[in-house]
Amino acid sequence: MASRSTASSKSDASTKETAARAKPDLEVVTETSGADILSTELKKSELFQLVADRADLNKNKVKPVVEAMLEVLGEALAEGRELNLKPFGKVKINRQKDTGNARVTVAKIRQPKSNGAATET
């Protein structure tokens, strides 16, 4: 009888090991707020700050220049002009469509691959 109980305890142990391997560990999921998730969208205020930091200027001095530049670029695209702006890249318009209250522009942007810092030629 002793050999029988030993056999059953071995099979019970192997059954528990198999069951433990079959069940994956549960992952704890926590809720995150919208502020915790980083956005990939570059907003104007962030653009002003990045340009000010890069140019080592005050944000208030950079803001009107960047806004004027965005207006000029927007007007050029609305006219159907291609943009060739190193190191940003070349913007080529594929098609434009006027809707009720907006113009939809589909464009390709070709950017050079950089080897470190962008160089202007």
Does one domain contain both 92 and 106? Answer: yes
Assigned domain for 7 exists: no
The number of domains in the chain is 2
CB atoms within 10 A of CB 62: 19
What's residue 113's pLDDT?
Answer: 87
Give the global pTM.
0.58
Does one domain contain both 55 and 69? Answer: yes
Range of the domain at 74: 41-79
Tens of each residue's pLDDT in the chain, 121 residues: 555 555 555 555 555 565 556 666 666 666 655 555 566 899 999 999 999 999 999 999 999 999 999 999 999 999 999 999 999 999 999 999 989 899 999 999 999 987 655 555 4
Distances (CA, A) of 54 to 9, 44, 45, 59: 71, 15, 14, 11
State how far the Cα of 87 lies from the Cα of 115, in Å rounded to an integer.
12
Assigned domain for 6 exists: no
Assigned domain for 106 exists: yes
Report the Cα 27 to chain-centroid distance in Å: 25
Assigned domain for 101 exists: yes
CB 83 within 8 A of CB 90: yes
